[in-house]
């Protein structure tokens, strides 16, 4: 066999080997399989990160913007709903308010509560400005409540903060942090709304109200709004009923804000229609707090009541001052009557 033919034969064998290897590799690589996109079942898919259970605190300054929201905004305006009347029976004594009017100083209003109380303060601060004779002060503090006395005893803490300063009106807004069990000083604990819970919380709240009254304050208790989470809303509803009953026994007006935070069906709503029917942001994105518009909405009835009480005290003080001035005035001397004019017969009569 010639060298040339031998080279050609070996080259042909090499090409046949390469072709066979490629065919075998393709068979192992693909075979007769059909390729499909793989999707995880919902229970096997990675869960998205849970939303924060507590949103950042709502705006508490007059210049801050309302918090952002993840709620979808309605595409079309809905008809405006009339504001539900908020019954506010108030016949409590107003010693501090009367003193402020008598002394000619601004009416001092302290707002006590948790982060929701921060928002109540921001609403009242806007509605009762200093230029109109009001001084709205913030005593509220985040992450506080009557179930957390091991961390912070509210009565002792706030009593020290008030000090010797006069307190005319105290607005209290606690509750969102107290939807849990509580332990007493004796170490015995009770679940939310149990008889043990009601006994411990009731005693702490009653003592707290007594402390504020010793400072001369008349008191208002602000209830909780509807909550987006149904379980939490059930707890808030139960606490509202408990505090309403307790405040009735203590002679403290209970400000029910829930009617101002629900839609026409009594359900949670993130937006509410204004007078023109345009939607306005009502709630923060955590479903617990309010937007700035929301805090203004729920505090407007209370601000009106405070104005009414202040104006009444001013009118009463003005009437007393006027009566006192009249009582102290010297008698007015009355000139004796002039003698009758005698006309002379020879004078013409005019």
The pLDDT tens digits for 195-254 are 999 999 999 999 999 999 999 999 999 999 999 999 999 999 999 999 999 999 999 999
Report the relative pairing of strands 218-222 and 254-255 from DSSP bridges.
parallel
All structural domains of the chain: 95-322 (3.40.50.1110)
**Residues with Cβ within 8 Å of residue 152, at least 6 apart in sequence:** 141, 144
Say whether pLDDT at 344 is over 90: no
Instruction: Supply the DSSP string of 76-100, one letter for each residue.
Output: SPPPPPPPPP---------HHHHHH
Segment 311-326 shows an average pLDDT of 72
User: Which of 12-26, 50-64, 242-256 shows the lowest per-residue confidence on average (mean pLDDT)?
Assistant: 50-64
User: Which of 11-20, 145-154, 181-190 shows the lowest per-residue confidence on average (mean pLDDT)?
Assistant: 11-20
Say whether pLDDT at 42 is over 50: no
pLDDT, the chain, mean: 78
- Whole-number Å distance between alpha carbons of 138 and 60: 9
Q: Say if residues 174 and 117 touch (Cβ distance below 8 Å).
A: yes
37 vs 175, more confident: 175
- Whole-number Å distance between alpha carbons of 72 and 336: 86
Considering the chain, what percentage of its residues have pLDDT values greater than 90? 58
With H, G, I as helix, E, B as strand and everything else as coil, classify residue 118: helix
Angle CA(263)–CA(266)–CA(268) in degrees, nearest 5? 60
Q: In the structure encoding, which two tokens stand for residue 330, read together?
A: 């010297």
**How would residue 93 be classed by pLDDT, with cut points 50, 70 and 90?**
confident
């Amino acid at each position: 066999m010639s060298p040339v033919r031998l080279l050609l034969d070996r080259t042909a064998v090499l090409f046949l080997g390469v072709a066979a290897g490629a065919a075998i590799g393709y068979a192992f690589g693909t075979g007769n399989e059909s390729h499909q996109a793989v999707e995880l079942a919902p229970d096997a898919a990675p869960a998205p990160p849970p939303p924060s259970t507590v949103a950042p605190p709502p705006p508490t300054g007059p210049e801050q913007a309302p918090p952002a929201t993840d709620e979808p905004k309605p595409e079309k305006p809905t008809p405006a709903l009339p504001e539900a009347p908020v019954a506010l029976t108030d016949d409590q004594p107003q010693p501090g308010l009367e003193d402020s009017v008598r002394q000619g100083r601004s009416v001092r209003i302290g707002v006590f509560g948790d982060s929701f109380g921060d928002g109540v303060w921001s609403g009242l601060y806007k509605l009762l400005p200093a230029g109109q004779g009001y001084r709205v002060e913030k005593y509220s503090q985040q992450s506080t409540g009557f179930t957390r006395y091991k961390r912070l005893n509210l009565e002792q803490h706030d009593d020290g903060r008030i000090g010797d300063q006069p307190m005319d009106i105290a607005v209290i807004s606690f509750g969102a942090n107290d939807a849990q069990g509580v332990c007493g000083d004796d170490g015995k604990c009770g679940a939310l709304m149990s008889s043990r819970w009601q006994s411990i919380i009731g005693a702490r709240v009653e003592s707290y109200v007594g402390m504020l009254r010793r400072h001369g304050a008349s008191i208002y208790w602000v209830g909780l709004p509807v909550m987006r989470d149904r379980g939490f809303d059930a707890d808030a509803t139960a606490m509202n009923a408990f505090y309403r009953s307790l405040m009735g026994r203590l002679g403290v007006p209970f400000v029910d804000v829930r009617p101002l935070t629900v839609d026409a069906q009594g359900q949670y709503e993130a937006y509410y229609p204004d007078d023109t029917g345009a939607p306005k942001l009502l709630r923060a994105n955590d479903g617990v707090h309010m937007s700035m518009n929301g805090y203004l909405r729920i505090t407007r009835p209370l601000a009106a009541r405070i104005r009414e009480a202040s104006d009444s005290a001013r009118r009463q003080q003005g009437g007393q001052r006027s009566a006192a001035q009249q009582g102290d005035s010297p008698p007015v001397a009355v000139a004796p009557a002039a003698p009758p004019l005698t006309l002379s017969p020879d004078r013409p009569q005019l």
